[in-house]
Structure 1
Amino acid sequence: MRAMVLTQHGGNEAFKFHTDWPDPVPGPEDVVLRVRACTLNYHDVFTRNGMPGIKVPMPIIIGIDIAGDIVATGSDVERFKVGDRVLVDPIDRVKGGLTGETYDGGLAEYVRIPAHQLVPLDDAVGYAEAAALPVAYGTAYRMMVARGKVTAGETVLILGASGGVGTCCVQLAKDAGATVAVCASSDDKLSRLAELGADFGINYATEDFVKVCQAKFGRARVFQDEGKGVDVVVNFTGGDTWTKSLKVMKRDGRLLTCGATAGYNPPEDIRFIWTFELNIVGSNGWSRNDVIDLLGLVKSGRLKPVLHPERFSLERAVEAMSVLDRRAVIGKIVVEP
């Protein structure tokens, strides 16, 4: 089969495209999928680069988010059959491991997946839209709904809003009835986010988002329960935006975090946390039920996964990774093997 194979940690030069990579064979409890869509995540970049404390077997086919058709089943698989459309929940919640990191993922024509990781895919949901959901949208759903409990009437500021997690956060916040402010690196991205429902945009490449937010929403005040500021900040970037985020929150506000794409060890100023009684709410990944709920939202039309305008063939998967490296992306990048 054709496959884009990672041979070692490094940059995109570490990938090698093969036209004769061995086809996967299902074990008794596995299926083999014909990959119809694989969407990329920043986690794929981290896997390529290498992450401290995580051992990745080499060579490996990366690509966490996968939707496709079953073409073969193991002898013990009963729930699914050849021809079924399915989405992969990338976390192996039975044996442990992550698709595209501890075993082969979706940047190939075919992939072997344990049957217990499969979620049935309704005909009304496209392969690419489904493949956009688990990692980014599942993470956003758990952070905004299960952990963050964003509600109607609140003001939510979303940093890094143009990527997969961010675009989902925008839609979920609007669906909850919140006022949504977003930060992005270009006016074009802000325009696209406005189309998704964002009420207020800040170009952080040309403006200081702290000053803009304080001018727009006010500042928290000591001993004022009804002080100004935003109710919720969504910050999964970390880095130099972390302490800045604390400065725009209202008293008793919530900072939601599910990652640290710009740095996990930022400078901290805990004075803001205790002075204004701020709440730091962590959220880790997603559950299988989160993925099922998201599929329901997509089917009903309440949620529309945002897909990067350009689609990539398997042969061009390295180009797709380069787009992700440059953060020149709106929504999820789709590779269609």
Structure 2
Amino acid sequence: MRAAVIYEHGGPGTVRYETNFADPVAQAGEVVLKVGAASLNYHDVFTRNGMPGITVPMPMIMALDLAGEIVEVGPGVEGGWKVGDRVMVDPSDRKTFGGVIGEARHGGLAEYCAIPDHHLVRLPDDVSFETAACLPVAYGTAWRMMVTIGKVRAGERVLVLGASGGVGTCCVQLAKLAGAEVVAAASSPEKLARLKALGADHLIDYKQEDFMKWVFGTFGKPHRRLYEKGMDVVVNFTGGDTWVKSLRTLHRGGRILTCGATAGYDPKEDLRFIWSYELQVLGSNGWAREDLTSLLDLVRSGKLQPVVDRTYALDQVNEAFQHLEDRKVFGKILVKP
């Protein structure tokens, strides 16, 4: 089969496109999918580059997120799955905790993929493979952060940093669905225009303007005695030098939501803001299976639509990775075999 494969860790351009990689065979408890679509996440970049403490078996076919149709069912498969069923893959191993799809075992950057039955989520006929491939990692993470843990509510002011990526575009949509007033920060006028089309009420070009000063000038500088001014919620999965500024934009009792640290995991901290403003720092890690079914319901109702930046063919996989790493992406990048 055709597949995009790594044989060792490396930087941009090191994924190899092959036309005769061995076809998968369904083992006990597994099905084989014909991949309809896969999407890239920064986790795939980290897998390609190599992560301390994580051993990736080589060769490896990456891509955590994928959806497709069952073409083979192995012995002992549970759940009533059969050939022809349409499925979305939940990449988290919730049964053996043996690692994620696309890192511990082959993922979606191929024509076919063998998947254990406990990773399968039934995909309704009215949800496309392309839409489903966008959901688990980015949208599942955003749902858990904004809804399950963050509990964003109507009338709150919510600042989303890094709003133009897969997680960010979902956060903007979920905050608007909750009835919040949304401030979206991104790095170019083009991205900001698309965020406005998604429903963002206010826009900040963080390359041209300090977001903390913008918040002070627009909503007032928070005071430790007041439950007003500034922001109710800041979504910050960048870390780095944005962390303390994020804390300073929150009024007393405000919440900062985080699910990552793309700009640095060891930022400068200022505990004075946390205790004196009674701030809540809420971490979110991954998603639950029920988060994915909730997202499918929202998609089917027309209330949520995953944002796709570009779709690449399998033999263009290095170009797809480069587009992601150059931070030119708005929303998700799809790869179709």
Report the counterpart of residue 110 of structure 1 in structure 2. Answer: 112
Q: Is the 8 A contact 2:31 2:117 kept in 1?
A: yes
Deviation of 1:13 (Å): 3.1
Q: Aligned partners of 2:285 and 2:175: how far apart in 1?
A: 19
Q: Is the 8 A contact 1:91 1:117 kept in 2?
A: yes
Report the counterpart of residue 279 of structure 1 in structure 2. Answer: 280
Uncovered stretches (5+) of structure 1, i.e. residues with no partner: none
CA RMSD for the aligned pairs?
Answer: 0.9
Aligned length: 335
Q: CA-to-partner distance for each residue in 1:21-52, whole Å, 9 max, x for gaps?
A: 00000112000000110001011111111111
Q: Aligned partners of 2:13 and 2:155: how far apart in 1?
A: 48
Deviation of 1:218 (Å): 1.1
Q: CA-to-partner distance for each residue in 1:214-248, whole Å, 9 max, x for gaps?
A: 11111111222x33110000001111111110111
Q: Is the 8 A contact 1:227 1:251 kept in 2?
A: yes
Query: The residue matched to 1:250 in structure 2 has which SS?
Result: strand
Report the counterpart of residue 127 of structure 2 in structure 1. Answer: 125
Report the counterpart of residue 269 of structure 1 in structure 2. Answer: 270
The correspondence of residues 58-73 of structure 1 with structure 2, limited to 5 A, is 58-73=58-73
Q: Aligned partners of 1:222 and 1:247: how far apart in 2?
A: 10
Task: Return the letter of the residue paired with 2:186.
Answer: A
Report the counterpart of residue 16 of structure 1 in structure 2. Answer: 16
Q: Is the 8 A contact 1:219 1:227 kept in 2?
A: no
- The range that moved more, 40-49 or 6-15, is 6-15
Report the counterpart of residue 27 of structure 1 in structure 2. Answer: 27
Report the counterpart of residue 171 of structure 2 in structure 1. Answer: 169
Deviation of 1:179 (Å): 0.2
Report the counterpart of residue 288 of structure 1 in structure 2. Answer: 289
Q: Is the 8 A contact 1:30 1:112 kept in 2?
A: yes
The correspondence of residues 1-337 of structure 1 with structure 2, limited to 5 A, is 1-78=1-78, 79-96=80-97, 97-224=99-226, 226-308=227-309, 310-337=310-337
Q: Aligned partners of 1:286 and 1:316: how far apart in 2?
A: 30
Uncovered stretches (5+) of structure 2, i.e. residues with no partner: none
Deviation of 1:16 (Å): 1.1
Q: Aligned partners of 1:302 and 1:156: how far apart in 2?
A: 19
Q: Is the 8 A contact 2:14 2:318 kept in 1?
A: no
Q: Aligned partners of 2:10 and 2:220: how far apart in 1?
A: 45
Query: The residue matched to 1:241 in structure 2 has which SS?
Result: helix
Task: Return the letter of the residue paired with 1:42.
Answer: Y
Task: Return the letter of the residue paired with 1:113.
Answer: I
Q: CA-to-partner distance for each residue in 1:123-147, whole Å, 9 max, x for gaps?
A: 1111111110000000000000000
Task: Return the letter of the residue paired with 2:238.
Answer: T
Q: Is the 8 A contact 2:187 2:207 kept in 1?
A: yes
Q: Is the 8 A contact 1:137 1:165 kept in 2?
A: yes
Give the TM-score normalised by the residue count of structure 1. 0.98
Query: The residue matched to 1:141 in structure 2 has which SS?
Result: helix
Q: Aligned partners of 1:144 and 1:297: how far apart in 2?
A: 15
Task: Return the letter of the residue paired with 1:265.
Answer: D
